[in-house]
Amino acid sequence: MVSIEELIFLCFLSATLLFVMFHIFRFRLLLTGLPRPARRSVGMLPLLAVLMPANSALEFSVAQQSRSPVGYGLELTGFIVLAFIIVNLIWLIRFSPKPQKKMIILALGAHPDDIELGCGATLLRYKVEGHETHGIVFSNGEGGLHDPQLKNCNPRKREAERGGQVMHLDSLTVMEFPDTKLNTKQEDIMRVIEECTRQLHPDLIFTHNRHDLHRDHRAVYLATMEAARRVPTVLCYENPNTPSSFQPNCFIEVSLYLEHKIKALKCHASQHISRPYMEEDLVQSLARVRGGQARLRAAEAFEAIRFTL
């Protein structure tokens, strides 16, 4: 039989671990910024919440006479130490430094996957740090479908939405301007950006750069320059069509978020066969190169049109 004291101990242990699990779920987005080994260790806590009380109950149910006081004391000490470590982890998560000012960030892209390629890791970093992130994609990307079977059922909007979920965007709008012909709709794109800036009042906008060889990308860049003239900070990102004339002067450290950027890019399954620049090795290599330029481990690089601290 399990004594009252043992039952109380088991209930206390279970309640402690359930409390920890609740806070891990509540602040799960902050765990994104932890190194991978730490995230995996934290991921084992729900299993511990089941196994540890079950193991203790099994041991309490066997012959208690065979257990020495020293063994019981060591086991109890182990439980207390584990609970102390876990509660301290939750304390660190709960009271981690918050940004002094919550920013509203808007990312603009001509096609699905442009935002992920250019600033996907940075957006996730800002979101983890407590800022508000939004995205607008101006076309469904129908021109990027090379499989005839996909022409009648364009999957790229759904892919963009899944990518936005991986980046934890607060909102993502996918417009239906004609792919490869955004230059003919530049005035309309400008009005969309102006309306969005009036509603959101963004502190920071990410957009395409002026060097880009893709006319759709240039159209979004030019529209942004007109529509976002009152936005304090405008940063232009690079992508596979960006030539060597792109000279970044702003680097954001993203080493902890690269794997999530790659995960967001993998949501664009329709592009992986015909787009070698979507490969994981190339994405990581570019981030390492840009990081090396700024003495960082890995970075995304931008040309600043305006940069306000």
At residue 83, the pLDDT reads 66
At residue 94, the pLDDT reads 59
At residue 99, the pLDDT reads 58
Do residues 107 and 115 lie in contact, with contact meaning Cβ atoms separated by under 8 Å?
yes
Residue 197 pLDDT level (bands cut at 50, 70, 90): very high
User: Does residue 142 surpass a pLDDT of 90?
Assistant: no
Measured CA distances, 196 to 23, 84, 112, 168, 205 (Å): 34, 47, 19, 19, 11
At residue 75, the pLDDT reads 62
At residue 1, the pLDDT reads 53
Do residues 202 and 229 lie in contact, with contact meaning Cβ atoms separated by under 8 Å?
no
Q: What is residue 212's three-state secondary structure?
A: coil
At residue 47, the pLDDT reads 53
Chain CA centroid to CA 14, Å:
32
Quote the pTM value: 0.76
Rg (CA), the chain: 25
What residues contact residue 256 under an 8 Å CB cut-off, 6+ apart? 32, 33, 34, 35, 125
- Domain limits of the chain? 4-94, 104-306
What residues contact residue 196 under an 8 Å CB cut-off, 6+ apart? 106, 134, 136, 202
The mean predicted confidence, pLDDT, of the chain is 83
Q: What is residue 301's three-state secondary structure?
A: strand
Mean pLDDT is highest, among 38-47, 94-103, 189-198, for 189-198
At residue 49, the pLDDT reads 52
Percent with pLDDT over 90 in the chain: 57
pLDDT digits over 255-288, tens only?
Answer: 999 999 999 999 998 887 778 888 899 999 999 9
At residue 106, the pLDDT reads 98
Alpha-carbon gap, residue 35 to 255, rounded angstroms: 9
- The CATH topology of domain 104-306 is Rossmann fold (3.40.50)
At residue 32, the pLDDT reads 62
At residue 15, the pLDDT reads 73
Do residues 193 and 204 lie in contact, with contact meaning Cβ atoms separated by under 8 Å?
no
The Cα angle at residue 248 between residues 103 and 34, in degrees rounded to 5: 50
Residue 238 pLDDT level (bands cut at 50, 70, 90): very high
User: Does residue 20 surpass a pLDDT of 70?
Assistant: no
What residues contact residue 286 under an 8 Å CB cut-off, 6+ apart? none
Alpha-carbon gap, residue 225 to 120, rounded angstroms: 21
pLDDT digits over 60-79, tens only?
Answer: 555 455 555 655 665 666 66
- Average pLDDT (97-102) is 69
